[in-house]
Amino acid sequence: MKYQIIVDSCSDIDADYLDGSEIGLRIVPLKINVGDKEYVDEQGVDIEEMLKNLKTPKIKSSSACPAPESFLKEFDKAEYTFVVTITQKLSGCYNSAMLAKNEYKSSSHVHVIDSMAVSGTEILIVDKLVELINSKLDFETIVSEIEKFRDNCTLFFVLQKFDNLVNNGRMSKIAGLIASTISLKPICKAVDGEIKIIKKIIGSKQLFPKLAMMIKDVLKGDKERKIIISHCNGEKEAEELKINLEKICDAKNIKIIPMKALTSYYALEKGIIVCF
């Protein structure tokens, strides 16, 4: 195999996503510990049980990134490898992948991409990599082009609960307190790989219309831009956002996907992430 793409499980991508392609796809899972129970974020993991256990009062929970070996052992399966990870501001995945690259005998044939985000942004990067590889560009050109593409990706999200982001140090306690105020519905954004509250909406009725207007400002009339909405048990909310994007942005290319375990752990129920 000439090319392969490795992603971490925070991508929310399905294992068969590139089936039928000459490009390999491998998913390296993260782990979630809830009390004495470990959930490996791979196919078959019981996300509903994990979410239920997280509601247990005073139970401790945490997430863990994969070791460098988890990436290193995959590199020999292709001549060239691209690794796409969750933002290094939220996880050690990027550092693990870089350590693996630096240990690899053909390190110049491996490129690690910090998505600067999570979930659908990783999928968008995968899609762009496939496009660039199929265009028969050389490895160095693909590296240059994919970094430019990453820099133009945008991620917004709205959550009902911020508990695990705050408790695991992914969000400041002050921001978490603001976000948890019942009457306020914050719209958050990935800014340089970090979580920022950029707008606070009073009540939920105007939440998705306001978010759609903010996305419209970024799209600047690009109706064909691919948009990925991921959700944790929030299909109704995801559909509502999709309708608003179609109406307000005239968006034509919207995909809704369920979150896997790691993203669900941080977004919690009814959490919505939109990437484009």
pLDDT-derived band at 21, boundaries 50, 70, 90: very high
pLDDT at residue 171, rounded to an integer: 64
Q: What is the mean pLDDT of residues 97-114?
A: 98
pLDDT at residue 182, rounded to an integer: 57
pLDDT-derived band at 174, boundaries 50, 70, 90: low
pLDDT-derived band at 180, boundaries 50, 70, 90: low
Residue-averaged pLDDT of the chain: 93
* Residue 183 pLDDT greater than 80, yes or no: no
State the DSSP string of the chain. --EEEEEEGGG---TTTTTTSSSEEEEE--EEEETTEEEE-STT--HHHHHHHHTSTT--EEEEPPPHHHHHTTGGGSSEEEEEES-TTT-SHHHHHHHHHHHSTTGGGEEEEE-SS-THHHHHHHHHHHHHHHTT--HHHHHHHHHHHHHT--EEEE-S--HHHHHTTSS-HHHHHHHT-TTEEEEEEEETTEEEEEEEEESSTTHHHHHHHHHHHHHTT-TT--EEEEESS-HHHHHHHHHHHHHHS----EEEEE--HHHHHHH-TT-EEEE-
pLDDT-derived band at 181, boundaries 50, 70, 90: low
* Residue 229 pLDDT greater than 70, yes or no: yes
Tell me the domains of the chain and their CATH numbers.
3-30+65-151 (3.40.50.10440), 155-275 (3.30.1180.10)
Q: What is the mean pLDDT of residues 247-275?
A: 97
